[in-house]
Structures are given as C-alpha cells and as structure tokens.
Amino acid sequence: MGSSDRRLTVIKRLTGAAVAGLLMTGAAAANACRDDAVTLRGDWGKARFSIEVADDTAERSQGLMHRRSMPLSSGMLFIYETPQPLSFWMRNTLIPLDLLFIDSQGVVQKIHHSAKPLDETPIPGGDNLLSVLEINGGLSERLGITEGSEIRHPAFAQNDPAWPC
C-alpha cells in the first residue's frame, strides 16, 4: 500500500467531527475573510479550507488536472465574472472530488459527491451560479455539508452575500 493509499484509508476512518476538527484552525482563522481561504457554515457546523482561486479562463481550464493528491483541508474555488449556468467534468483529473456549486450570494445550490476521476461526463450544477468549490471526494458527506450551506469569501462581497466578510 502506497503512502497516498494509507492517507486515504486514514481519511476514510475519520469521523465527521474529527475531520471538522482538522479543518477548523481556530476561531480567528475561521472568521478571517481572505482570498486564499473559504469558510463554510450550516446546521452541520463550520469548516475552513485553504484554497487556490481559478478566476480566469486559463486557470479555470487547468483546474486540478494532473494532480495526484490534495491536502485534506485544501480546495480550489472557481470564480466567474457573472452568474451563469455551470457544468464541469473530470478530464485529466486524477483524484475524486466533491463539487459544490454556489450562487452569487455564496449559498451552495448543489453538491456533486465524489466525481469519478478521468470521467468526461458533464456534471451540471444548475443556473445562476457564480462559483464552484472543489474539495476532496467524500469530504462533504463526512462533514455533513449540505445544499443551503453558506460560504464566506471576498468573491461574494458585491452580491449581498448570505455570510458577509
């Protein structure tokens, strides 16, 4: 068993509360509104992810392609200029991902759980979406993240966000 297989086994064994504990790095960090981090909240609790931002055509086209792993508390936030219908696929993406489709106010409208690596089948997210957050596959379910959860990030500041910075 390789090191990435061992890490995946450890992640699968963690309970939702343990994963949430790993993701939350303290109240001050969770409340900070920064370009390189997002915080999600809902009835299930809160989680914070360090993120890379993909906010131009080249970055969005590349996404998380060709990566063999991603740290547990990391992700990528795809941001678009205006709300629009969004659909993703897993071309050249080697790791399973959860895709959280988010409207302009920072509310999760749809979650696609554990998208299959290398699958080119379109994954429609819906209409009127401003962003998509990609995190490690299965993490949304472990944490209890649901549709209706709110995300905090400066990208939503000009759109009457549900959870302002």
| pLDDT in the model for residue 57 | 97
Which residue bears the tokens 């996404």?
Answer: 63
What's the pTM value of the predicted model, to 2 decimals?
A: 0.83
**Within 10 A of 85 (CB to CB), how many other CB atoms are there?**
10
Please report, in tens digits, the pLDDT of each residue of the chain (165 residues total): 444 444 444 344 444 444 544 445 444 444 579 999 999 999 999 999 999 999 999 999 999 999 999 999 999 999 999 999 999 999 999 999 999 999 999 999 999 999 999 999 999 999 999 999 999 999 999 999 999 999 999 999 999 999 999
| pLDDT in the model for residue 149 | 98
What are the φ and ψ backbone dihedral angles of 115, each rounded to 5 degrees? Answer: -60, 135
DSSP letter string, 92-104: T--S-EEEEEEET
| pLDDT in the model for residue 32 | 72
- How many DSSP H helices and E strands does the chain contain? 5, 7
Rounded to whole angstroms, how far apart are CA atoms 6 and 108? 31
| pLDDT in the model for residue 92 | 98
